Amino acid sequence: MIWTVAVSLLGLMALSIPVGIVLFILGIGVGEFFSAFPLLRGLGQVVWSSSSSSTLIAIPLFVLLGEILVRGGVAARTYGALDKWLSWLPGGLIHANIATATMFSATSGSSVATAATVATVAMPQADRLNYDPKLFSGAIAAGGTLGILIPPSINLIVYGFLTETSIPQLFSAGLLPGLLMALAFVVITALICKARPALGGPSRSFGWSERLGSLVQLVPIVILFVVVIGSIYAGWATPTESAAIGVVIAALIAVTLGTGLGLATIGEALQGTIRISAMIMLVITGAYFLNFAMTSAGLGRQLTAMLENTGLPPLGTLLLVVLLYLVLGFFIETLSLMVATIPIIVPIIAGLGYDKVWFGVLMIVLIEMALITPPVGLNLFVVQSARTKGSMNDVILGVIPYVLVMLCMVALLIAAPGLALWLPSIL
């Protein structure tokens, strides 16, 4: 049954069938062929129970928050401000790409939205200043992945919902690794451009008056992050309530410092929110039904027995799971990979004695790599779509240094779990 489900999953996705539909088809197939119970009769109840949680309301709210900032012109102004502070480093504007992605990760919660935002703003500058297209576009694609690690992260909300893990703890656990990885992106970029200056384009310096004057564009974003995340940890608001507060603050920032929020802009933001949220909810409900079917058919027990029969110690089993995610990440879209595997993998990992909060952060880093590895890395396609010339190969080659950084972060998290668990332990 395990191999039947795995081959069917890959085969259906190869036919370009939407992932949410694939999960429902697999669930129905497992119920019909491998379960003794009429599982299809419980479809309505499973869909309702998986979508009725108030926690999930945070997802469209965080998506809307990011849409408002992007469409309200805040992104371009933030990019310009960070350019003034970071362009003196070897690599010039590439560091502004990473920094802007980091800041928008801390507000939008979406990797794809972050990559699209930065790419739209930055690509014209790359052409104008003759930056190396590979490293420049690769940095944007990699920086965008921080959107699902640095809180508020939509993927961490989904993980917490599916595993019944504290979302505030997941947010705090992802913060330090996310910031360290952003810093590592800056360092590896500076080292590459120091060794090969032609890749980094011109370094530019700005006066302190210009730098300090640009802070007016950065401070509101920092305040937004502090209010959204701080209200959660202070116990003043749930993740859903803090997301709603964030939407209001984002609207005020867009009106006062951005290009404003006209009816057309609001309509575009709402349409984008509905489209993204509907996709996420379809995948979540499909994954719930598939998990319901697999549990009823005993697939979880089979997989657990298969992993236990390998004779590997807990660390060996963990490394096998890491390898599994690295391989699957080449072929399966990130959110789909999460929701399809979490119900099976997380109980096994928890049974081995590993912390679910820590594993959530580790999984997100692995999922980040899936976002920038071909053939289905979404961020690669997002960045390529923003380019006016050049092939996808440029973007793929450009992300290689950042993939290596992510592999180092995976190793660091395994070797030092406290990197993720220290902050939750003191909050």
d(C-alpha 140, C-alpha 131), whole Å: 13
Residue 369 backbone phi and psi in degrees, to 5: -60, -35
Q: What's the pTM? A: 0.81
> Which tens digit of pLDDT belongs to each residue from 44-88?
776 776 676 777 788 888 888 888 887 887 877 888 888 888 878
| Most confident by average pLDDT, 213-227, 245-259, 394-408 | 394-408
The whole-number pLDDT of residue 405 equals: 95
The whole-number pLDDT of residue 50 equals: 65
The whole-number pLDDT of residue 416 equals: 95
311 vs 373, higher pLDDT: 373
The whole-number pLDDT of residue 178 equals: 92
pLDDT over 70 for what percent of the chain?
A: 88
Confidence check: pLDDT of 166 > 70: yes
d(C-alpha 244, C-alpha 57), whole Å: 9
pLDDT over 90 for what percent of the chain?
A: 16
Stretch 338-347: mean pLDDT:
81
Domain containing residue 146? 2-10+19-426
Give the least confident one: 35-39, 413-417, 423-427: 35-39
The whole-number pLDDT of residue 362 equals: 95
| Most confident by average pLDDT, 52-56, 101-105, 184-188 | 184-188
Q: Domain total for the chain?
A: 1
Residue 39 burial (C-beta neighbours within 10 Å; 0-12, 13-18, 19+): buried
The whole-number pLDDT of residue 5 equals: 67
The whole-number pLDDT of residue 154 equals: 83
Query: Which residue matches tokens 């996310």?
Result: 178
Any idea of the CA torsion for 272, 278, 279, 280, to the nearest 10 degrees?
A: 110
> Which tens digit of pLDDT belongs to each residue from 249-306?
989 988 887 777 888 888 888 888 888 788 777 777 777 777 777 777 666 666 667 7
Each as own residue / partner, the long-range contacts of residues 300-306 (CB below 8 Å, 24 or more positions apart, any chain) are 300/343, 300/344, 300/347, 302/1, 302/2, 303/2, 303/344, 303/348, 304/347, 304/348, 304/351, 306/2
